[in-house]
Amino acid sequence: MILDAHTHIFPEEVCRRREDFFADEPAFRLLYESPQARLVTPLEMLPALEEEGVEAAVICGFPWRQERLCRRHNEVILEAMSRWPQKFIGFCAVHPLEPGAPREVERCLAAGCRGVGELAWYSEDPGGQLLDFLAPIAELCQHYQAPLLLHMNDPVGAPYPGKAAINLPEIYNLIKTFPQVTWILAHWGGGLPFYALLKKEVPETMINVYFDTAASPYLYRPEIYRLAAEMVGPEKILFGSDYPLLTPKRYLKEMDEANLPADWQKMILGENLAKLLGW
């Protein structure tokens, strides 16, 4: 069983005329101005899931700055969940630095979204106010018992489009403030798995933290699968492809190269997410 914990879909009008949505959306333009950056609708994702052997996928939106675009995108996610409930697990997306974000999150969770994310601030720097911005959303996730998926990236290494200003101590403080929230930290958590090796406090603080593998073939050597599993436990890792950025086949190849035990692979590829979501 393969369950994908991290994919992205878009409304049809965005897929067909992306240039119409660049105005006042610098992050969207940064990530998707190139025609090589793929955009897919839910209908287009269905045959891809079948081809790749993925039973179901978490579908995420985009952190639009404009509330009307954010709401429209989340409506597409809710509709896809309704039409194909056995294939799509909807997470609603908002721009966490926008004042209307908590209101939209509450609307979507009440309407049936299973989680929140991927939350990201690609072209902005929260500047030490991350807790202030995300606390209302975290409170809602705690109330609705919904996972919260955060975009993460390492603060070191080569720059690339969309590499956000991530302050790991701030992220840790956020998790510590809301220990009952189920956190999913995308892209291997930007290095946070390493700190699970500390003897005091951190393992207890991160008891409800999971890490997904999204974009791993672009970022890390295949050894990351074994090393991360040894640091945080294989039960804390979720397979996420970031499709359509990458296909699941790329990840399966790297897991084989990492010589993961078969039971670890099963956990990462689907069992962990199924248990987390009651799928």
For position 65, which CATH number holds? 3.20.20.140
User: How many of the other CB atoms lie within 10 Å of CB of 154?
Assistant: 17
pLDDT of 158 strictly over 80:
no
Mean residue pLDDT of the chain comes to 95
Ranking 36-50, 84-98, 120-134, 228-242 by mean pLDDT, the lowest is 120-134
Q: Would you give the distance in Å from CA 154 to the centre of its chain?
A: 15
Residue 214 has what pLDDT? 97
Task: Give me 273's structure tokens.
Answer: 């997410």
Pick the closest to residue 195 from 214, 213, 217, 173 (CA basis).
173
Pick the closest to residue 114 from 216, 11, 184, 46 (CA basis).
184
Using 50, 70 and 90 to split pLDDT, how confident is the model at 123?
confident
How many separate domains does the chain show? 1
User: How many of the other CB atoms lie within 10 Å of CB of 16?
Assistant: 11
pLDDT of 70 strictly over 80:
yes
CA distance 52 to 224: 22
CA distance 68 to 23: 14
Residue 277 has what pLDDT? 97
pLDDT of 162 strictly over 80:
no
| Domain hosting residue 51, numbered range | 3-277
pLDDT in tens, 224-264: 999 999 999 999 999 999 999 999 999 999 999 999 999 99
For residue 189, CA distances in Å to 58, 127, 168, 238 come to 18, 19, 9, 11
pLDDT in tens, 21-42: 999 999 999 999 999 999 999 9
Q: Count Cα neighbours of 101 within 13 Å in the Cβ-side half-sphere.
A: 27
Pick the closest to residue 4 from 249, 171, 195 (CA basis).
249
H-assigned helices in 112-199: 130-144, 168-177
Report yes or no: 268 and 2 within 8 Å, Cβ to Cβ: no
Report yes or no: 212 and 6 within 8 Å, Cβ to Cβ: yes
Task: Give me 271's structure tokens.
Answer: 């069992």
CA distance 130 to 167: 9
Q: What are phi and psi of 6, to 5 degrees?
A: -160, 95
Q: Count Cα neighbours of 3 within 13 Å in the Cβ-side half-sphere.
A: 22
Write out the H or E segment, with its range, that includes residue 27. Answer: helix 26-32
State pTM to two decimals: 0.96
For residue 208, CA distances in Å to 46, 77, 145, 147 come to 31, 25, 12, 10
For residue 234, CA distances in Å to 131, 187, 193, 274 come to 29, 15, 12, 14
Q: Which residue has the tokens 């965005």?
A: 14
Average pLDDT over residues 86-115: 97
Residue 160 has what pLDDT? 78
Report yes or no: 238 and 228 within 8 Å, Cβ to Cβ: no
- Which 3 state secondary structure label does DSSP give 34? coil
CA distance 138 to 184: 12
